[in-house]
């Protein structure tokens, strides 16, 4: 039974556990903390820990994007929405968050865990086809670059149109006087 063997204790394995534990703990804090701004900062830590997980797989570019886009740009937007909506936190504090809408939250949680559990149990896991170790190379980012700017040239250029539309859209929405 090769899949029951415990892998030898290696640096990537230790780092995986460190980053995984930090990501889970901070993810828990996101939902437990009463102040929405604190939750957002805990989410920053979660996203950074996930970036660390990508790094242990050798995906340097994805790790960098995770920090630049998610922990940077997306969190700016989250914080802005929190401040625009003037969220002041749960009145009941920790107790209010944990023991508030018990029945609905419990039912939804059970449904989610059952679904994910059944998916994990029944899904076919393609092994070998996308072995992360095969891409664990310092040239990983270069490989992405070569593929993105040759074979996926059109999608890449379309992204600039998409960004342009987002740019115009946000100006039209947010600008009061033209």
Partner 1 sequence: MPVINAYMPALLMLALATGFALFTVVASRLIGPYRPTREKNMPYECGIEPVGSANDRFSVKFYLVAMLFIIFDIEAVFLYPWAVAFRELRLFGLIEMLVFVALLLVGYIYVWKKGALEWD
**Residues contacting residue 45 through CB under 8 Å, at least 6 positions apart:** 22, 26, 29
Residue 7 DSSP one-character state:
P
Distance CA 63, CA 40 (A): 19
Among 3, 7, 123, 160, binds partner 1 (CB under 8 A): 160
Whole-number Å distance between alpha carbons of 118 and 134: 29
168 binding partner 1? (CB under 8 A):
yes
Apex 27 CA angle, 24 and 31, nearest 5: 140
Q: Considering the rule CB under 8 A, would residue 11 count as an interface residue with partner 1?
A: yes
Question: In the bound complex, what is the minimum distance in angstroms from residue 131's beta carbon to partner 1?
Answer: 13
> Considering the complex, what minimum distance in angstroms separates the CB of residue 113 from partner 1?
31
Written as six digits, the tokens of 166 are 């987002």
Which pair of structure tokens corresponds to residue 78? 């989250």
Stretch that binds partner 1, among 57-65, 90-98, 103-111, 116-124 (CB under 8 A): 57-65
Nearer CB in complex with partner 1: 76/113: 76
Closest to partner 1 by CB, 11 vs 130, is: 11
- In whole angstroms, what separates CA 52 from the centre of its chain? 11
Binding residues (CB under 8 A) for partner 1: these are 11-12, 15, 37, 55-56, 58, 60-61, 64-65, 68-69, 72-74, 76-77, 80, 83-84, 86, 88, 136-138, 140-142, 144-146, 148-150, 153, 156-157, 159-161, 163-164, 166-168, 170-171, 173-175, 177-178
């Amino acid at each position: 039974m090769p899949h029951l063997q415990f892998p030898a204790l290696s640096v990537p394995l230790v780092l995986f556990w460190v980053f995984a534990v930090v990501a889970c703990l901070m993810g828990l804090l996101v939902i437990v903390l009463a102040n929405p701004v604190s939750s957002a900062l805990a989410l920053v830590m979660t996203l950074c820990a996930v970036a660390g997980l990508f790094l242990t797989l050798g995906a340097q570019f994805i790790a960098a994007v995770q920090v630049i886009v998610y922990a940077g740009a997306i969190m700016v937007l989250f914080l802005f929405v929190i401040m625009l909506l003037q969220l002041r936190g749960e009145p009941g504090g920790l107790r209010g968050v944990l023991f508030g809408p018990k029945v609905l939250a419990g039912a939804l949680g059970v449904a989610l865990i059952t679904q994910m559990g059944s998916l994990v149990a029944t899904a076919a896991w393609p092994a070998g086809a996308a072995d992360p170790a095969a891409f664990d190379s310092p040239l990983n980012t270069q490989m992405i670059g070569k593929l993105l700017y040759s074979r996926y040239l059109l999608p890449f250029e379309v992204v600039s149109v998409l960004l342009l539309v987002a740019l115009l859209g946000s100006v039209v929405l947010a600008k009061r006087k033209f």
